[in-house]
Structure 1
Amino acid sequence: MIAKIIYGHTCRGTLDYILGKEGMQVLGYGNTFSQDISPKFFGSLLHFQGQRNATKNRYAHISLNLPHNEHVDDSTFFEISKEYMEKMGYGEQPFIVVRHNDTKHEHVHIVTTNVNDKGKVLSLYNSKRRSMATTSYLETKYGLEPIPRTKQQKELPIFRLPELKTDNEDTQGTRYYIQDVLNRILQKYKVRSFEELARHVQPYHIEIRKTQSTSGRVGVAFGLDNRQGYRTRFINGSQVHRQMSGPKLQWVFENHKKSKLLPMHRKRLLKQIETTYSLFKTIRPHDLKQVLKEYQGMDIELDIRRATIGEYTIYDKSGYVFREKELSKHLRMQERQDIFGNGNVPTQIDTQSKQFQLEKEKLIREAIQTSHLTSKQQKVLLSEHIETLRFKNIVPILLESEKHRFLEKYMSSEEKHTFRKNLKETFPQIQQKLHDTETRKEREALQGKFDLIGDVLRKGVFNVGATDGSVRHLFQALGVKYQNNKLLFASSDKYFVPVQLGHLPFPKNMQEHVSNGFVRQNHLMMEMLTKQETDILSKQSAISFFLPMVFPGLFERMHPDYKRQYESISLGAYLKHAERMHESFEKSPIDYIGFFNAKGFYFEKIDNGINIKSIYTDNSSSYKLPKRTSLYLNSIPDLETFLKQQHPVLENLIKTNRNSLENLWAGHLMELGQYERVAYLLTNENVYPNLHREVVEYHMDKGLSKTIQERIASKNTFQQNRLLRIGVYTKGSLLDKPGGNHQEDYNGFKDELTDYTKRRKDRGISF
């Protein structure tokens, strides 16, 4: 089921449309004193309540759309509509539900107001996220076909037109068709003029008529002409949609033209095309589209007129569309007859060009680096791997390379033979050059780690020393080791920095191996704490919150001041990740808090906002929520009283010994779909994930339950009975909902205005 929401400052036109449709059926009303009122009376009631506030978005027009060939009866559709409105925060607002049957998919229209009976506007926050979660919940409850929950690229059907009609005054179907096409085009492309927009909509049989008044105001109208006897009258842009009027479209176009990124994108395209031309001896004009796609990943369309190519249009990945004439004159096809003026001569690479030599070297370098990543001995440094490499080791990688296939595609048989021979001859030179480059980088990296360790020790970030050997925890957490008065990479003895520490004992409980990913994240964290650089702060990811779990011997010695700073930063990094994970489940601000509570996080209201804290960090450590998120949570009635209900959930986690980072890590892996690793933690380590019941059930159904059973079945006979008991207990524990059941109130809303300057995910709310 797909929900679409449109906000507006009037309701008369919307009600006239939905109630004037042939075959319409009023399914019922919400929050009115009777179901026997007339639509006209309801319209007056809704108009009166909405006019009690001067906000622009007084009214909401919502449509709930089922997939093709799916059917529900009237009473069920009305119940679905009422439950959707309740969970979206309209539980106390008057609304009407009208069913239409004018399309192949069944749908209802709901009209309500965003102004309550006291004249205040509902809190319109996160409506897109909540609508997605609510429709998903209703799909499960009523057995409806689910819609895709991931972003998809959809191409508009070029010949999908309204049904053939003779009455050119029937513009409603035309209006929605034009709105749908324009909406997707303006999301996909950064259009800069009405002329460019006209070219985009031409394949969909839409015509654009631009006007300008004596005062200079720009107007626009749209019409349909399928050149098969079906024409419509032109409709003003503001009638198609309020965001498609002439002035508003002109504003969008001007913003795109003034973007500081536009010259950068043009310069990049010029470089890409120039590089392509320098690689080829000849290019058959009709092959240019394929050549640029394979070599540069560029999408172009050729303007073919009577078997001749006039020019081409570039559809850049940035969203901008460039005509050939916008680029350098030197790069136009007509100006490059040395490449394109050879008739039907096959496209051929210039094997003597400088660009070809560069591509050959790049091909070898990439093959060497790929061989290191796929090597069984990944722990060695790249320079060490290069030293032991032979050309025969990279031959399979070369042959599988798309770039290698591309280059050979435009060579003769003789050139292919020479090319492969040259690769072998060139290999030693590239190998040595890459070895020297990597050697320099690795030396600098080791010296950088040494300098960072010095900064950390001087500033006292950790209370470690040489006497008890605890400084080894710091060395290990940064991917280095100490031996014989030398600091070396943990995985190699090739380089060293002299460090006169004498005999350095090993502390107890030293980890044998740590992940390189955690080492890199810890390195960034140490740099951030010592240098206070904001660009490093932006690189923190959710796994920074788990560093104390990976390096317990180090972080238990962290200075309290730095610890609070670290915990605040890592809380913020984890918050951003968790919000994305909760997106498809969250139906209200109460859900937002509930999902975090189940993970061991809680919220406290302060004078100027709301803080988030956790049971895994010090009680004084917190992260202040962004202003918009604070407003979202403040839409909960009597928030302070509600926040007190968090304590039983958290106390239950602590009471059941689920207040360790290992429990949060298990939930983190589950959310990422790492079911094999989760099953191992459950069956071998007795670590149970801290997650909300609804999320756990989703992953159990998605495949976790099956993975756990397979894990249990794979054990030997001696352990079978014990592991079966663990398996049953694991499932029961997973489905326990800590802290009891809270009644859910769905309040708060997010104002989703149509903004064609941004790409929206092709799901949930659309216009």
Structure 2
Amino acid sequence: MIAKLIYGETCQGTLKYVLGKEGMRILGYGNIFSQGISPKFFENVLHFQGQRNATKNRYAHICLNLPHGENLDDRTFLKISSEYMENMGYGAQPYIVVRHNDTEHEHVHIVTTNVKEDGKVIGIFSSHRRSMATRQHLEKKYGLTPAPATKRKDPLPMHRLPELQFGMDAEKGTRYYLQDVLNNINQKHKVRSFAELARLVKPYNIEVRTTKNESGRIGVKYGLNNQKGYRTNFINGSEVHRNLSGPKLQKVFDIHSRSKLLPMHRKRLLKQIESTYDLFQTIHPNDLEEVLKDYQGIDIKLDKKENAIEGFTIHDKSNYVFRERELGKSIKIQERPDIFGNGNGNEPTQIDTGSEQFKLEVQKLIKEALTVSYLKSPERNGSLSEHIMTRKFGDIINNLESSNNYKFLERYISRDKRTEFRKALENAFPLVRNRLYQLETKREQETLENKFGLIGKVLENNIFDVGKQEGSVRLLFQSLGLKYHDNTLTYTNSNKHTVPVKLGKLPFPKEMENHVSSSFVRQNHLMLELLSDRTSENSSKLSASVFFLPMIFPKLYERMYPDYKECYEGMALSSYINYAERMHSSFEKSPKDYIEFFNAKGFYFEKGEKGLGVKSVYTTDSTSYYLPKRTIQYLNSIQDLDGTLEQQHRIIDKIVKDGSNDLKNLWAGHLMEKGLYQRVAFMLTNENVYPNLHREMIQHHMDNGLRKAVKEAMESKSTAEQNHFLRKSVYAISSLLGDRGVKSEEVYNGFKDELTDFTKFKRKGPSI
């Protein structure tokens, strides 16, 4: 199911279109005292309520579309529409649900107002994200075909064209189709002119005409013409949608045309395309689309007229659309007969193995294979430079052949030259290896010296209470991926590079941390840089994993001084909240969901002097992250926000009481969200760690593969271990697996709380 939302300042035109469609059926009204009222009466009610506020987004037009071939009866479609409106915050608003049958897919239109009876406005912030979550919820509940989860990149479907005949009133058949196509085109591309817009909508049978009055004001009209007997009158852009009028579009086109980034995009594309031409000896014109896509990641479309190729259009990742002549004469097909022949040549596409560009590609392949062989090494002993010098050409063959770049080059090298290709790789290997070795050696030494300088700043600023006594400074060294031995500082996994540090015989602390991943070392390094400089300038580089540093380096972070701890927790909390918002987006149907999802993780909201702040059970009471203004407006749309905030304490107190306020519990949920189910299963079955995550999300991940991973983890344990484990937590695992058939004595376990006890839903639905 696809849901579309459009907001507007008036409702008369929308209702005229929705109610004026031939064959339309009114399925019902929402929050109207009688279902027997006339459409005109409803229009008056909606109009007068919407006029109680001066906002430009007074009214909402929503369309729910089923996939082709999917059918629903009127009663079910009305029920789905009502649930959609309830979840979207329109449950108390007047609305009308109208079913149309003018296209090949079944759909309904819903018209309502964003203005409430008291004159306040329903917040539309995050409405499209909430719509996505609501749509997915309804799809699952009613067994509907899911809409694509990712942004649509393929061309718009042609079957949306209304089935009308020549000369009929266009207002009854084309406005919604025009809105659909034109809005999608303008969202997908940064259009710069009406001529460009006309080219982009031509495949969808839309014609664009512009007009100019005496004052120079530009107008635009749209019509449909599929060249097969189906044609409509032209409609003024403002009648299709206020944002599709001539003046409004011209403003947008001017902004896109004046962008300072345009020259950069042109220069980049020109260089990429010229590099492609330099690599090839010949290119069959029909292969150019595939070649540029596979080699440079550039999307182009050949411009053909009667099977003759006249040029190509580039659909850039920047969302700009360029004709090849905009970039430079040198890349036009007609100007390069040395590669394309006469533009319609029959020469096969072949790489020039004698070109300089080919030699560069060979070197890039070897460099990539050497790096990948190190990253994929199970033990990864030593530094990258040490690894490089121990590799022989035969050691990287598998990495070479699995590379997409290698496959691309091999595809366009003639068979009689593939042996030459292999020899070119083998001959270039020693040179590339030595050059890469020198570069990595220099980089590794500079990085080590940088880490040494950072240690000095950390100690000078007294971020941690560490020193020579009891060897606690070693904890700081380890957190940066370093070790100390014989008055020198080296990398943890290599002794090749050293920095002299005269600390004498330095004892080891009672307990050192276990081995940690390089990703945590990088995040810790970045965090300590920010704390040392007392700045948040590069805080955007922090990932959500920075929140778990006290779990990875507990002995070190226990020694952090309070002032720095508060600063660290503030930045870490900000990074995690921003990450969690993205993870919640596909589940979040309302602002209450926003709060509940964070509550389940151990985060709660409080009103403060600076606005609405977020706190957690994992940080100190004084640490808060204050939400952006738009998010606060979104949460303020909850009718009883104070009551909702008060209800948080029941969940938060439960987490603390059950001892789930440990970062390991949040980490388990974090791994679950990342899809690392095997690691989560190990924590569940071996460490008795329960993920702090909302029940709805746990359900999703269980269905998505976690259930299978947990069962496999349990089966892999030895009989003795399994029996011992089952005596302690079999009921907890069963609650996650949805095993409600076992009736045994209830025992306390750390897995179950009010949000995760599935047993209380007995006889209310099918098993998980």
Normalising by structure 2, report the TM-score: 0.91
What residue in structure 2 maps to residue 727 of structure 1?
Answer: 730
Correspondences of 1:143-158 after superposition (within 5 Å): 143-158=143-158
Q: CA deviation at 1:630?
A: 1.5
Cα pair 2:365 2:400 within 8 Å, conserved: yes
- Which residue does the alignment assign to 1:752? none
Q: Which residue of 2 aligns with 1:765?
A: none
- Give the 3 Å change call, closer, same or farther, for CA 197–584 of structure 1 in structure 2: same
Aligned equivalents of 1:417, 1:681: Cα separation in 2: 50
The Cα of 1:534 is off from its aligned counterpart by: 4.2
Match of residue 135 from structure 1: 135
Tell me if structure 2 keeps the 8 A contact 1:171–1:232: no
Out of 472, 485, 488, the position equivalent to 1:486 is 488
Tell whether 2:583 aligns with 1:581. yes
Aligned to 1:201: 201
Distance 2:225 2:496 in 1: 73
How much has 1:92 moved relative to structure 2? 2.3
Number of the residue aligned with 2:446: 444
Say which is worse superposed, 514-523 or 374-383, in terms of deviation: 374-383
Question: d(CA) in 2 for partners of 1:210 and 1:42?
Answer: 37
Distance 1:148 1:306, change over 3 A: closer
Report SS of the residue matched to 1:223: strand
Other-structure match for 1:3: 3
CA contact (8 A) 2:732 2:752 kept: no
Shift of 1:272: 1.3
How far 1:173 moved relative to its partner? 2.6
Q: Which residue of 2 aligns with 1:126?
A: 126
Match of 1:513 among 515, 528, 533: 515
Conserved in 2, the CA contact under 8 Å of 1:61 and 1:109? Answer: yes
Q: Which residue of 1 aligns with 2:168?
A: 168
Q: Provide the rounded CA distance (Å) in 1 between the counterparts of 2:168 and 2:414.
A: 60
Distance between the aligned counterparts of 2:337 and 2:100, measured in 1? Answer: 60
**Residue by residue, what CA displacement relative to the aligned partner does 1:289-311 show, whole Å, maximum 9, x if unpaired?**
44333332222233345665433
Closer, same or farther in 2 for the Cα pair 1:44/1:473, shift >3 Å? same
The equivalent of 1:736 in structure 2 is 753
Contact 1:649–1:740, Cα closer than 8 Å, also in 2: no
Q: Relative CO higher for 1 or 2, CA cutoff 8 Å, sep ≥ 6?
A: 1
Aligned match of 1:210: 210
For residue 313 of structure 2, what is the aligned residue in structure 1?
A: 313
Q: Distance between the aligned counterparts of 1:102 and 1:278, measured in 2?
A: 52
Partner residue, 2:641 = 639
Distance 2:483 2:704 in 1: 43
- Relative to 1, partners in 2 of residues 1:230 and 1:134: Cα closer, same or farther, differing over 3 Å? closer
Distance 1:93 1:296, change over 3 A: closer
Residues 177 and 81 of structure 1, relative CA distance in 2, 3 Å threshold: closer
Q: Distance in 1 between matches of 2:107 and 2:289?
A: 42
**Whole-Å Cα distance in 2 between the matches of residues 172 and 122 of structure 1?**
31
2:296 — aligned with what?
296
Distance, in Å, in 2 between the alignment partners of 1:577 and 1:491 is 31
**Which whole-Å CA distance do the structure 1 matches of 2:645 and 2:157 have between them?**
50
TM-score by length of 1: 0.91
Q: Does 1:540 align with 2:557?
A: no
Structural mapping, 1:323-338, within 5 Å: 323-338=323-338
Output the CA distance in 1 between the equivalents of 2:169 and 2:255: 35
After superposition, the Cα gap between the structure-2 partners of 1:177 and 1:738, relative to the gap in structure 1 and judged at 3 Å, is closer
Quote the offset at 1:391 in angstroms. Answer: 1.3
The amino acid of 1:111's aligned partner reads: V
* Inter-partner Cα distance in structure 2 for 1:558 and 1:635: 40
Taking structure 1 as reference, are residues 689 and 251 closer, same or farther at Cα in structure 2, changes over 3 Å only? Answer: same
> Residues 161, 83 of structure 1: CA spacing in aligned structure 2 closer, same or farther, 3 A cutoff?
closer
Q: SS where residue 494 of structure 1 aligns?
A: strand
Q: Which amino acid aligns with 2:575?
A: A
Question: In 2 relative to 1, CA 400–124 (structure 1 residues): closer, same or farther, beyond 3 Å?
Answer: closer
Give SS of 2:440's match. Answer: helix
CA separation in 1, counterparts of 2:555 and 2:618?
A: 16
CA RMSD of aligned residues (A): 2.4
Q: Give the gaps of 5 or more residues in structure 2.
A: 736-749, 759-768
Output one character per residue of 1:561-584: Cα deviation in whole Å (capped at 9) or x when no partner.
110000000000000111111112
TM-superposed CA distance for 1:722, in Å, is: 3.5
Separation in structure 2 between the aligned mates of residue 694 and residue 284 of structure 1, nearest angstrom: 53
Gaps in structure 1 of 5+ consecutive residues = 742-767
Residues 1:710 and 2:743 are matched in the alignment? no
Q: d(CA) in 2 for partners of 1:89 and 1:120?
A: 13
**How many angstroms apart in 2 are the aligned matches of 1:693 and 1:400?**
41
CA contact 2:270–2:327 (8 Å) conserved in 1: yes
Identity of aligned residues (%): 60
SS in 2 for 1:90: coil
Q: Aligned pair in 2 of structure 1 residues 104, 300: CA closer, same or farther (>3 Å)?
A: closer
CA contact (8 A) 2:211 2:219 kept: yes
Q: CA offset at residue 734 of structure 1?
A: 4.6
Following superposition, the deviation at residue 414 of structure 1 comes to: 5.1
Give the distance between the partners of 1:133 and 1:412, measured in 2 at CA. 51
Q: 1:691 aligns with which of 686, 690, 693?
A: 693
Match of 1:82 in 2: 82
Instruction: Letter of the 1:543 partner, please give it.
Output: S
Equivalenced residue count is: 741
- Cα drift, residue 119 of structure 1: 2.3
Distance 2:61 2:574 in 1: 36
Q: Which moved more, 1:164-173 or 1:56-65?
A: 164-173
TM-fit CA distance, 1:245: 0.9
For residues 625 and 659 of structure 2, the distance between their equivalents in structure 1, rounded to whole angstroms, comes to: 24
Partners in 2 of 1:368 and 1:623 — Cα distance?
43
